[in-house]
Amino acid sequence: MASETASEMASVHLNLWKKQFGVVPESVWDRHDLESLVLADNGLVEVSERVRELKRLRMLDLGHNAIVSLPEAIGELEGLTDFLYLHDNRLRELPRSMAKLKRLRYLNVSDNELGVLPDSIFDMTGLVELRTSKCGLAVVPDALGRLTELRELHLRDNALATLPSSIGELQELRHLDLRGNPLTTLPATLGELPKLDKLDLRWTPSLDGAPLPWIAKLEARGALIYR
């Protein structure tokens, strides 16, 4: 029985980390049984349209490659629920079709040259954790308020001077990382977030001296504020 279980596990999880393929072998796209696929650190510059064939995927790791664009076909992976890791690539935009990934809970697009966060992200309303550090972001749009299931938001090392007041609509938010941004002010709606228990404002010297009376309110109910 143990050997059958191991065989079954092997049939749905494929880890090809750091194989330095350059191009994903066609045989990978033939694995229609896959639920988890790791293709991190392989020198990839593109992803085949055949990714749409992996309908059972729940987790996909494409991090630490040199991917410059993703196919619209990635939006057809509507079974993606657990994890989509795109960290450390050369992406300047994301496919509009990603808006279809309504059930995805974790998205990491950090260390890409996005410049702006596309609307498609804010249609992914099942997100619980969003990581967008080191993406060259100067603003976060009001559409952020649509991610009402979000518990963690990581915006470290961008070019943000403030955040939209719509962040106050993220009633499930627990952890907000704003380290290393040139912040000059923050919306008072942050002080109304009922579950926020960690706010990281370290390495934001431009925020020093800015009046933020709502911080005392957060601290009074036990939230940790790092400055």
User: Would you state the pLDDT for residue 7?
Assistant: 41
pLDDT at 10 over 60: no
Number of domains observed in the structure of the chain: 2
Cβ burial 152-165 (10 Å sphere, 16+ → b, else e):
bbbbbbbebebbbe
Looking at the fold, whether 141 and 109 belong to one and the same domain comes out as: no
Looking at the fold, whether 86 and 177 belong to one and the same domain comes out as: no
Looking at the fold, whether 42 and 148 belong to one and the same domain comes out as: no
Percent above pLDDT 70 for the chain? 95
Contact criterion met (CB below 8 Å) for 107 and 129? yes
CATH of the domain at 44: 3.80.10.10
Looking at the fold, whether 155 and 61 belong to one and the same domain comes out as: no
| pLDDT band (50, 70, 90) for residue 183 | very high
Looking at the fold, whether 13 and 49 belong to one and the same domain comes out as: yes
| pLDDT band (50, 70, 90) for residue 8 | very low
User: Would you state the pLDDT for residue 209?
Assistant: 87
Please say which residue of 131, 152, 173 terminates a domain: 131
Please say which residue of 131, 163, 178 terminates a domain: 131
Give the mean pLDDT of 174-192.
Answer: 97
pLDDT at 3 over 70: no
User: Would you state the pLDDT for residue 2?
Assistant: 40
User: Would you state the pLDDT for residue 6?
Assistant: 47
Please say which residue of 111, 131, 151 terminates a domain: 131
Block residue for tokens 């991090």:
63
Give the mean pLDDT of 12-35.
Answer: 96
CA distances to 102, 124, 143, 163, 171 from 148, rounded to whole Å, are 12, 10, 11, 16, 7
The predicted model scores a pTM of: 0.94
Looking at the fold, whether 149 and 85 belong to one and the same domain comes out as: no
| pLDDT band (50, 70, 90) for residue 91 | very high
pLDDT tens digits for range 126-155:
999 999 999 999 999 999 999 999 999 999
**211 Cβ contact partners less than 8 Å away, ≥ 6 residues apart:** none
Q: What is the span of the domain harbouring residue 47?
A: 1-131
DSSP secondary structure, 1-63, as one string: -HHHHHHHHHHHEEE-TT---SS--HHHHT-TT-SEEE--SS------GGGGG-TT-SEEE--
Give the mean pLDDT of 200-218.
Answer: 94
Looking at the fold, whether 13 and 124 belong to one and the same domain comes out as: yes
Q: How many other C-beta atoms are found inside a 10 Å radius of the C-beta of residue 211? A: 8
DSSP secondary structure, 159-224, as one string: --S---GGGGG-TT--EEE-TT-------GGGGG-TT--EEE-TT-GGGTT---THHHHHHHTT-E
